Chain A
Amino acid sequence: MSLTNKVKNSLNWLIGGAQGSGVDSAANIFSRACAEGGLQVFGKREYYSNIKGEHSYFTVRISEREIRSHVDEINMLVSFDAETLLRHAGSVVKGGGIVYDSELADVKIGEVPTLDDAFRDRLVGLLEKVGKPLTVQGVLDYASDNDVSLFSIPYFQLLEEFSTKIEDHSLSKLSRMVNVMSLSSSMALLGFPFETLGSAIRYIFRSKPKIADLNVMAANYAYEYTKTHHDASGLAFSLTTKKPLPDVILVQGNQSSALGKLTAGCKFQTYYPITPASDDSEFLEANEIVPQGEGKDGSILVLQTEDEIAAITMAIGGALTGARSATATSGPGFSLMTEALGWAGMNEVPIVVSLYQRTGPATGLPTRHEQGDLLFATKAGHGEFPRIVFASGDIEESYYDTIKVFNFAEKFQMPVIHMLDKAIANSITTCKIFDQQRILIDRGLLMENVSDISPDLGHASHYRRFKLIRDNKNNNNGEANYLISPRVLLGTENGIFWNTGDEHTEEGHITEDPEIRTAMMDKRMDKLRIAIEQIGDEDKATLYGIDEPDSLTVISWGSTKGAILDAMDRLIDEGKKIRFVQFRLLNPFPIERVRTLIGDHKQLVDIEMNYSSQLALLISENIGISMDHLIVKYNGRPISSSEVYNALVRIILGEAPRRIVLKHGA
């Protein structure tokens, strides 16, 4: 195949290997190189709950136009161990290529101890069906039959030669660079310029210049070897560079919300280690000194607690002093936080919980993805109290949303659960540099000073922290609405108040009076009405696509957004009418906005990464509309745009059952 016939700058690249062998570094270098080369990047990481030895892999999709999701088809598979070939060679599509270690061809399936029985049985079944040997060579033959080019690289020989060349004979040390060498071989085959690759290697190893030098040299050695010894003419894909657009960043989903916290002025974050939420806190701790205006330094205090109960309760303590406070966790930790969440609701304390969902229940698949906590987040805790549940759909959005959720917490004086997930946390994307001025800070009714004759002082001249203030409009009961009472911070003169988890008076003292109880419940719950009034339509739910009365309407929330948008673009290119409603505010439920967006539409399709179609249940509960189709996935692997596309095509063709369960994933 001549270069001119190749698909240029559009491919799906995968590298795999044992955990601890440098898969992430290699993928980060690849992503960085492509981004520096002016290309768009979307990558995602998959890994076991294990430190070393189990299989992990990273797919990176490259394009010249905006991409927001991964796809199932692999165009270039890069490996340096047997398991990666056994697990992924079958997913490489026609015209693709496989880079592998020459010495591995004879490895038998039974010799790879980390292959679990279930996968091994499926692979053996496949190879027996197509009449291939039960070895690495068998899967390579299978791929080759499918017009996939095979590129065998003698890594060990290259390392020996390289070791002699640089006069460094510690082969075991040098062998740790096999990840970068395999990546470099793939770049040589794709025609990507080495200079840009070298720059990306130096970027990733920027804190260790000597290691960077060594890796660049080793990469170059593999690059030249591959160019000399292999003919890439059968490969249908190529990568070239162009001038990158200004103001593009390459950012990971475990950095974006943390960056948003720094901009939002979060000054205190507590956490207990849990995948996939810990990265958020660790990023903040690594960047605890935060430059402020006028050349001054500010800071964020990050504290690892003894458990998640301490994490949320410490954050609440911090919030009472006025520090914008947050905690980051995943499902198991959030379960432990629920009692304190209710305390924050009861005492109207603004806190943010970043809930990075993973597969549940219990420990579930601890390093895998799911959107199983939506209903839990909207209802978590005993009794009734107001909270905001707000979901981000992608990495870029999560930065801006994080600033918004701190505003929500303080304006409405309640806990906010910011829904994120493993798919966002462990993906990487190019996007426009974050605009630090786009979202303004709004701290709500915050009293910095209280006069000793303030009308907010009540019984015994104590500050009425929970002052019952009513406006002149009536609520559903035909009674006047309550407004939000101004908040003072611990330490404020003339502001002394009390908090208690018990029902309380305006000053915050315990009461069991039935009339105060009713008024205080009304006051707290009325804030949900205020939130609905004040939160903008676009933050409630966002509409994309072709908005016509007979369009197919896809609804979803959270990180499925990218896969849906990419699949929708493809369907629109094919002439289909399709629109997508991305739900953002999930509690309080934006009833009117949702009625406007989907009330008159036929053909409603709900897509979610959980078993029960939890958003569809919320819609049904709130406005009584049920979905025509439910597309669900709960095998722990994020939904791909390939899957969304295929499922929607089936629905459009009238060939789909009401509920479609997606199952792709490795």
Chain B
Amino acid sequence: MALKLSDYKTEVHNDWCPGCGDFGILNAIQMALSEMGIQKHRAVIFSGIGCSGKTPHFINTYGIHTLHGRVLPFSQGAKLCNPELEVMAVGGDGDGLGIGAGHFVSAGRRNVDMLYIIFNNGVYGLTKGQASPTLKLGLKTKSLPLPNSNNSVNPLALAAVSGFTFIARGYSYDVRHLKDLIKQGIAHKGLAYLDVLQPCPTYNDINTREWYQGSDNLDSETGKQIPRTYKLEGAGYDGIVHLEDEADSKMSNAILKSYEWGKKIPIGTFYQNEMVPTYEERIASKIPDYVKDPPSSQRVSLTDGRPNSDISRLLDILRVSN
């Protein structure tokens, strides 16, 4: 039976603020799952804490709403124990780049085959608008008593130097484009990072939907708004590593590109390299049966309850006599 978009929706009341950018991301995820025909029970959406953390409850697949900052280790643990699962991790920028930044870097080093999406809005929404790690230095969003005194982290560059092998950025109000990026991220062999620019209509009164759409950025001749976001694929940018020896230069290009901000903000795929072995492949090089018989599918006991493992060989080594 073909799966419809509605099959991926739950009946749970969505309590995000009206106009929240999160809705676009939610729709894009559901569309991607539907278009790719991923069976509902084979997918697991993990999330961190905050508004974005509620995402799994709105998606009709397995949904694991974890702890603040810990979505990556929870999800990697599940994926590595059952590589058959389609695992996606979602969370906010405070969750993934503040409290969870250590896990972000370490996940890159592993390159587990899954997708991580950060809903990036520059603020801690659910705790009422504090500055997040991606808010630019000196900005004062409306609930901050004083301008932000921390510099911002660049998640795309951080993903690149940490070892993520697919790095992309989407915009939550360009749902079709975002959906395509999610599909690419799922299809990618390795750890994919997708940064989504997601205006928070309640607390971020600077990087608003209007701002992204260029309300203050008018064409001097026509007087029309010039949207800030533009698509890399339409601008002749190719971030895909086709040959091993171009990995470094492509990564350098991606990092440079990721610093473009202001009047022009690139979205699309910054970098992709499928030549780096996934963590699953690294395990399989040591445990030959790993793919065929991963931890989740190995039987623990015989039907009568006796253990299935046999450690006689190890015990024999410890014997004091033969």
Tell me the A residues contacting B by CB distance below 8 Å: 32, 35-36, 243-244, 246-251, 255, 259, 262-265, 267-268, 270, 287-293, 297-301, 303, 305-307, 309-311, 313-318, 320-325, 339-340, 343, 403, 430, 433-434, 436-437, 440-443, 459-460, 489-502, 508-510
Contact = CB atoms under 8 A, between A and B. Distances in A.
Given A306-B105, A496-B61, A502-B65, 14 more contacts: A259-B314, A262-B309, A268-B77, A293-B310, A317-B64, A318-B295, A323-B82, A325-B77, A339-B67, A443-B300, A493-B41, A497-B62, A498-B63, A500-B65
Contacts of B49: 501
Interface stretch (B137-145, B188-196, B284-292): B284-292
Contacts of A309: 70, 73, 103
Contacts of A244: 320-321
A403 B81 contact: no
B78 A317 contact: yes
Contact of A265 (B76, B298, B314, B321): B298
Contact of B41 (A268, A306, A440, A495): A495
B73 A498 contact: no
Given A262-B311, A291-B310, A343-B66, A267 B57 contact: no
B11 to A, nearest CB: 5
Nearest to B64: A499
Nearest to A493: B41
15 contacts: A249-B315, A251-B318, A265-B309, A291-B312, A299-B298, A317-B64, A317-B77, A320-B78, A321-B296, A322-B296, A325-B77, A490-B62, A496-B61, A497-B62, A498-B62
B311 A263 contact: yes
A32 B320 contact: yes
A305 B107 CA distance: 10
B297 to A, nearest CB: 8
Nearest to B86: A491
A345 to B, nearest CB: 12
Nearest to A286: B314
Nearest to A312: B73
Contacts of A325: 77, 81, 295
B314 A287 contact: yes
Nearest to B12: A509
Interface of B: 10-12, 39-42, 44, 46, 49, 54, 56-57, 60-67, 70, 72-82, 84-85, 102-103, 105-106, 283, 286-290, 293-302, 304-315, 318-321
Contacts of B299: 265, 292
A396 to B, nearest CB: 12
A498 B298 CA distance: 24
A316 to B, nearest CB: 6
B63 A259 contact: no
B81 A317 contact: yes
A305 B73 contact: yes
Contacts of B57: 498, 500, 509-510
Q: A262, A440, A490, A493: which has the most chain B beta carbons within 10 Å?
A: A490
A291 B313 CA distance: 9
A39 to B, nearest CB: 9
Contact of A498 (B56, B75, B294, B318): B56
Contact of A492 (B41, B308, B312): B41
Nearest to B293: A298
A484 B63 CA distance: 21
B207 to A, nearest CB: 28
A644 to B, nearest CB: 28
Q: B12, B56, B310, B320: which has the most chain A beta carbons within 10 Å?
A: B320
A263 B82 CA distance: 21
A351 B6 CA distance: 35
B72 to A, nearest CB: 8
A434 B317 CA distance: 13
Contacts of B61: 496
A157 B208 CA distance: 83
A318 B75 CA distance: 8
Contacts of B310: 290-293, 436
A323 B289 CA distance: 15
B320 A491 contact: no
Given A490-B62, A499-B64, A436 B311 contact: yes
A261 to B, nearest CB: 9
Contacts of A289: 287
A630 B220 CA distance: 86
Contacts of A339: 67
A496 B311 contact: no
Chief secondary structure at chain A's binding surface? mixed
Contacts of A32: 320
A501 B65 contact: yes
B74 A313 contact: yes
A340 B70 contact: yes
Contacts of A494: 41
Contacts of A340: 67, 70
Contact of A263 (B44, B62, B295, B307): B307
Contacts of B79: 317
A316 B44 CA distance: 14
Given A262-B311, A292-B308, A318 B321 contact: no
Contact of B290 (A290, A291, A299): A299
B94 to A, nearest CB: 16
B314 A262 contact: yes
A84 B164 CA distance: 52
Nearest to A41: B320
A104 B283 CA distance: 52
Contacts of A489: 296
A65 B291 CA distance: 49
A601 B102 CA distance: 54
Q: Identify the 9 closest CB pairs spanning chains A and B, nearest first.
A: A317-B77, A265-B300, A314-B77, A440-B305, A441-B301, A267-B295, A323-B295, A306-B106, A500-B65
B309 A291 contact: yes
Contact of B67 (A259, A324, A501): A501
B320 A249 contact: yes
Contacts of B78: 317-318, 320-321, 490
B96 to A, nearest CB: 14
Contacts of B288: 297
B308 A298 contact: yes
B300 A441 contact: yes
A324 B315 contact: no
B77 A313 contact: yes
A406 B309 CA distance: 14
B84 A491 contact: yes
Contacts of A248: 319-321
B286 A443 contact: no
B295 A301 contact: yes
B63 A501 contact: no
A268 B287 contact: no
Contact of A318 (B72, B77, B309, B318): B77
A498 B81 contact: no
B305 A306 contact: no
B293 A265 contact: no
A500 B58 CA distance: 13
B309 A317 contact: no
Q: B49, B304, B310: which has the most chain A beta carbons within 10 Å?
A: B310
B77 A316 contact: yes
A130 to B, nearest CB: 42
B62 A270 contact: no
A339 B105 CA distance: 21
Contact of A293 (B44, B308, B318): B308
A351 to B, nearest CB: 10
Nearest to A504: B65
B287 A299 contact: yes
Contacts of B320: 32, 35-36, 244, 248-250, 430
A416 to B, nearest CB: 16
Contacts of B74: 313-314, 316-317
Contacts of A499: 63-66
Q: A243, A250, A303: which has the most chain B beta carbons within 10 Å?
A: A303
A267 B315 contact: no
Contact of B309 (A290, A459, A491, A502): A290
